[in-house]
Amino acid sequence: MVLQEEQLRIIFGLKLKQIRTERGLSLFGLSKKTQLSKSYLNEIEKGKKYPKPDKILALAKALEVEYDEMVSMKLSGSMAPLSDIILSGILKEIPLELFGIEESNLIDIIAGAPDKVSAFISTLFEMTRHYQVSRENFYLAALRSYQESHQNYFPDLEQAVRDFARLYQLDLQQKVKSAELAEILKEEFGYKLDEERLAKEDLPGTLRSLFIPKSTTLLLSPGIPEAQKVFILAKELGYCHLQIEDRPLSFSWIKFDRFEEVLHNFQASYFAGALVLPEDRICTALKSFFKEKQWDSARFHKLMSEFTDSAETFLQRLTNILPTHFGLNQLFFLRLQQNSDSAPVLSKELHLSRKHQPQALTGTINYCRRWLSTDLLLKPKNYYRSGALALGCQISVYQDTGEEYLMLGARENDPVSPNAQRSVVIGLELNANFKKQVQFHKDPKISTQIVGTSCETCSVQNCEQRVCPPHRLIKEEQEQLLQERLKQILEEETNLNN
């Protein structure tokens, strides 16, 4: 395998450099002892070349080590953890190129301070095992970092949508219909659409679509809402127009085997969102909406329904548009899901503000019931309603940090799970730029709530919505009191002895 050959070259190069350094030899000095060129030795140490047996023998003799030790796949001393890291293949799992990092450069950094860096990386691996972080979760976390580093806006994908619309004469000034997308898939890309097969299959869970590459057939779950159907077909067109082949075949995805699948899934989804909510048209609509002096849920619903009936598609698209076109880059996006007999669970998040509230927490957590996200799920009757859809607006003030956000959110039936609901919310920091852009933030009818992150960590007093005591907060306070008391005892003893 290519990967095994690369691992062999890298480890041999590191070992050669380690032994050479221990012997107090420069590359020039080793070159003189072995009659091998300095440039050739440098390429070996960088993992670019693996020497033939006669040259390994010459190196072993010059460095006074056994041949078997030179070809061993184990490094020694402080470098030992580095060989385990390389052999594990974990560096291949990390999408380093996405962040402009060369694997060789990372290995050089690790090799330059093996005690500290190797211990740090080993600790990260131990943490992922301890908290049972799956490969998929790791990939999705890397994708979120990639989105955040680009303000979740990708001009090449926006341009690809404009090119697609021009190529197939799709009117982006009108609400996209599934019938016209289906026609393009069939006529231009040879797709066959089947809306009966999945209903006949005894599949665990729910599946909205399945693509069969061999026959270029897209199986669609019968009875899915028009908004979901539009998004699925638009996503398929994204794969086709962007010429993406390495992709997940099911929607929703079941398993990601490679990061490329995660990235390509995101790119096709971005394409679909930009097709449903075209950049120029949504910007014009938002500018008009933000000029309103008062918050109007019905007006917000009308704005959304001009593009799509999916609240998640609409609010997710705002995370692309608001940072670039309105300068509103201090924002987060949350999706909570709830079955009829369970507490809300945070299932999707994005934080362009790079701040830590509110983010998903591990373990069994009772997320703050004062959030617009949870309140929409638990008390939908308190909000503007249109069928199964509930819409709301809230100013959230975080108790522990003082951060203020204007929250726009919606509750809708979960299209994946028939007996579940989900809420989607975008939070926009109430800073000077936001107040200048969005006029209705001063509307006194918008509810203001003091919120926390979870009941377990919340310091809000006399909260009627609290479902459990602040266990974690109490423990932290007890530890703080203990530390203060120990410090006081030590100071008293010091004063007595002086």
Q: Nearest Cα to 13, choosing from 51, 39, 69, 62?
A: 51
State residue 1's pLDDT score.
39
Run of H or E including 233 = helix 226-241
Place of tokens 């459990």: 468
Q: Kindly report the CA angle at 283 between 281 and 289, in degrees rounded to 5?
A: 105
3-state secondary structure of 339: strand
Q: Kindly report the CA angle at 123 between 120 and 125, in degrees rounded to 5?
A: 115
CA distance 498 to 495: 5
DSSP string, 183-214: HHHHHHH--EEESSHHHHS--SS--SEEEEGG
CA distance 172 to 228: 18
pLDDT mean by block of 10 residues, the chain; 498 residues: 69 87 91 92 88 92 89 73 65 63 64 58 56 65 83 96 97 96 97 90 74 95 90 97 93 77 93 98 97 95 96 96 94 89 83 65 71 92 93 91 92 82 94 94 93 81 79 76 86 80
State residue 10's pLDDT score.
83
Neighbours of 178 (CB within 10 A): 20
Tokens of 177: 């219909």
- Phi, psi at residue 459, to the nearest 5°? -105, 10
Burial 294-311 (b: 16+ CB within 10 A, else e): ebbbeebbebbeebbbbb
CA distance 241 to 189: 9
The answer to whether the Cα torsion of 215, 220, 222, 227 is positive or negative is: negative
CA distance 121 to 186: 49
CA distance 366 to 435: 32
State residue 84's pLDDT score.
64
State residue 57's pLDDT score.
92
Whether residue 81 has a cis bond before it, omega within 30° of 0:
no
CA 420 to chain centre: 23
Give the Å distances, CA to CA, from 309 to 175, 244, 306, 389, 468.
10, 27, 8, 9, 36
